[in-house]
Amino acid sequence: MPTSPLRIVFAGTPEFAAASLQAILDSKLENQYEIVGVYTQPDRPAGRGQKLVQSPVKQLATANDIPVYQPLNFKQDEDKAQLAALDADIMIVAAYGIILPKIILDTPKFGCINVHASLLPRWRGAAPIHRSLMAGDSETGITIMQMDVGLDTGDMLLKAHCDIKPTDTSETLHDRLAVLGGKALIDALEKLKAGTLVPEQQDERLTCYAAKLTKQEGEVNWATSAELIERQVRGLSPWPVAYTNSLAGVMKIHTAHIASVSDEASTPGDILVVSKEGIIVATGQGSLLITEIQFAGGKRMKVQDALNGKHKAALEIGQRLGVNGKQE
């Protein structure tokens, strides 16, 4: 490995990636690393005004006077040549959102490594944080992986473990993993410079595919168990958010907990209890206490507040959620 500062190209887009970039910037105090360029997705229109918005990674790079490159992909010869001209020792990729062809993976001297939000080979794919919550995993973490042309199939270089709390949402777990990812990355880079990283092949028998999320996955099937629905609510928070149909139309469910109330004569989706804590709804197995909701055109609120509003009738005992949807 070079004794001079490690020449790094960083590729990432959202907040998760920005945390890893920040970790490298903080470590520059020891003059171990030189970030020679940052790649991020092109600015996208957002908000009601559809103004172009820079990614969190671009904002951080710009604030630190690091050259930023934003190709649509790496199919153009000039984009390939630009990367080669940076003469990087290594390329670090974290939630970049663009598939890298083999010619790009092979351009840096030591290839490309990825900061992946899962303990590989458990969850490969676009949404490992959400899928781990929805599956009821008790643990997840960060894997620093040597990238190849497959989907998260490369050799594992370093792992950092993280417990999943019973109250975790995809948002809270994301934030912890983002910080952990930065720490794991620096650990891996130090080991890389020291020549002590030992690649480990993934066991293909243990893989699961963390498919990209869709809004349709948010629809609650009350015929399933309270446990599965509670994990669905947490795993899809803050996006795309679990939802159900009600007398007042679509109702998003932001917070829910498994309840102890049971009624064998009830039908899944029936509201069994209404109180200041929330509403308790029957499921195919057990019941669910819903405490925070949101109706179309309204804001997120506690059920207690909604009971004083215009949609109170939709939350009364005896009302059945989901009756206007696919669960009918």
pLDDT in tens, 226-263: 999 999 999 999 999 999 999 999 999 999 999 998 87
- The C-alpha torsion from 18 through 11 and 115 to 26, rounded to 10°, is -50
User: For 177-222, how does the pLDDT look when each residue is reduced to its tens digit (9 = 90+)?
Assistant: 999 999 999 999 999 999 999 999 999 999 999 999 999 999 999 9
Contact between 214 and 236 under an 8 Å Cβ cutoff? The reply is no
The pLDDT of residue 265 is 78
Listing DSSP states for 183-198 in one string gives HHHHHHHHHHHHT---
Check residue 255 and give its pLDDT: 98
Check whether 118 is labelled as a binding-site residue: yes
Superfamily designation of domain 6-210: Formyl transferase, N-terminal domain (3.40.50.170)
Mean local confidence (pLDDT), 14-27 = 96
Does the annotation flag 120 for ligand binding?
yes
Work out the average pLDDT over 19-29.
90
Q: pTM (2 decimals)?
A: 0.94
Ranges in the chain annotated CATH 3.40.50.170: 6-210
What six digits make up the tokens of 84? 């080669």
Domain with CATH 3.10.25.10 in the chain: 215-315
pLDDT in tens, 108-159: 999 999 999 999 999 999 999 999 999 999 999 999 999 999 999 999 999 9
Output the pLDDT for position 85: 98
If you average pLDDT over residues 33-45, what whole number do you get? 95
Any residues with CB less than 8 A from the CB of 27 and at least 6 apart, and which?
33, 186, 189
- Of 3.40.50.2000, 3.40.50.1440, 2.40.50.140, 3.10.25.10, which CATH number belongs to 215-315? 3.10.25.10
Residue of 206, 192, 87, 208 whose CA lies nearest to 146: 192
d(CA 93, CA 91): 6
